[in-house]
Amino acid sequence: MSLHSPDSGRVADAPSDNWVYRVLPRPAWPYAQLARWDRPIGWQLLMWPCFWSAALAANVARDIALFSLPQFLFHLLLFFAGAVAMRGAGCTYNDLVDHEIDMAVARTRSRPLPSGRVTRLQAKVFMVAQALAGLVVLLQFNRFTIGLGVASLAIVAIYPFAKRFTDWPQVVLGLAFSWGALMGWAAVFGSLATAPAVLYAAAIAWTVGYDTIYAHQDKEDDALIGVRSTARLFGDTTRTWLIGLYGLTVLLLMLAYILAGVGAFAYAGLGLAAVLLAWQIVTLDIDDGEQCLALFKFNNVVGLIVFLGLVAALAFA
């Protein structure tokens, strides 16, 4: 039996040897697939703007003698848990909205809903359970941060429909996926400032860039069924657009660092991240779906390096 055959219980667009299939009982597999536990890159990319923001705020808090290491570590733990829970709820919601589209796309046809391994009611119940877990995490923060987190749900609700009415659904994804760039700062100070706003803009540009690379996997199927994306919009000019998007990401991160007054280690990390972003642009082959997926996933390393630079600036100031 093929690992990706209808009877295998696996999905075509996820690693077949993932821990989900080795640890969880088979009846739990469809729910893990709905939540994308078998594809951690999603929650990782959702988490990094949260971590960046928390570390940026920690650098400022240190300078005004408000830094607390236990609080910083607790916030990172909460953002990790929240990213996993809310990414899972968001993906389940997205699959419910895109049920019919997923049936028409080869890469997504084996997912739990289009393959019939989960009913729509079961998926809805699971989505609510994950959202409640996310709410428990959110309630650990101050009131301002709670309100800010709730406000993000409006963008999350719109995103699955964006590919139907705009060529720029990746921007809507960026607005949602980058929200953590505001949350980390708000969790420390109970308010916002220019630095996290600029950080948010940087994360949006980064998201549009890496998700454009991701969307090139599906451009043929998307064209057939009328799904819109920046991959289809940019086409053969994708590399030029990525130069602009990734270049804007680096410039805006640098501006956020200047506004927050972070130390030299943060800039060193940013410099290394800029090199890795440039490497993606140079090596990209938009007609190689496997490479597009690999480059998309590589942005987890970029996010980690930016974070480690900020932590180093905090630790060695």
pLDDT digit string, tens, across residues 184-234? 999 999 999 999 999 999 999 999 999 999 999 988 878 878 889 999 999
Is 64 among the domain residues?
Answer: yes
At 101 the pLDDT is 79
Instruction: Please compute the mean of the pLDDT values over residues 2-24 and round it to a whole number.
Output: 71
How many whole angstroms separate alpha carbon 49 and alpha carbon 57? 12
Range 133-155 burial, b when 16+ CB lie within 10 A, else e: bbbebbeebeeebbebbeebbeb
Residue 21 has pLDDT above 50, yes or no: yes
Residue 9 has pLDDT above 80, yes or no: no
Mean model confidence pLDDT for the chain: 93
Is 41 among the domain residues?
Answer: yes
- 2 — pLDDT class (breaks 50, 70, 90): very low
pLDDT digit string, tens, across residues 276-286? 999 999 999 99
- 68: Cβ–Cβ under 8 A, 6 or more apart, which residues? 61
Residue 25 has pLDDT above 50, yes or no: yes
Is 10 among the domain residues?
Answer: no
Residue 3 has pLDDT above 70, yes or no: no
Least confident of 16-25, 191-200, 290-299: 16-25
At 1 the pLDDT is 39
Is 116 among the domain residues?
Answer: yes
**Degrees, nearest 5: CA angle 85-90-92:** 95
Percentage of the chain modeled with pLDDT above 90: 79
Domain count, the chain: 1
pLDDT digit string, tens, across residues 143-153? 999 999 999 99
Amino acid of residue 279? W
pLDDT digit string, tens, across residues 165-178? 999 999 999 999 99
Is 18 among the domain residues?
Answer: no
How many whole angstroms separate alpha carbon 138 and alpha carbon 147? 9
Is 9 among the domain residues?
Answer: no
At 7 the pLDDT is 54
Instruction: Please compute the mean of the pLDDT values over residues 279-296 and round it to a whole number.
Output: 96
Residue 32 has pLDDT above 60, yes or no: yes
19 CA to centre of own chain: 21
pLDDT digit string, tens, across residues 91-107? 999 999 988 877 877 77
CATH number at residue 91: 1.10.357.140
At 102 the pLDDT is 79
- 90 — pLDDT class (breaks 50, 70, 90): very high
Is 13 among the domain residues?
Answer: no
Residue 5 has pLDDT above 60, yes or no: no
At 15 the pLDDT is 63
At 63 the pLDDT is 87
Instruction: Please compute the mean of the pLDDT values over residues 292-309 and round it to a whole number.
Output: 97
Domain extent at residue 63: 23-315
Residue 129 has pLDDT above 50, yes or no: yes
Is 14 among the domain residues?
Answer: no
pLDDT digit string, tens, across residues 253-262? 999 999 999 9
Residue 6 has pLDDT above 70, yes or no: no
Q: How far apart are the first and last CA of the chain?
A: 57
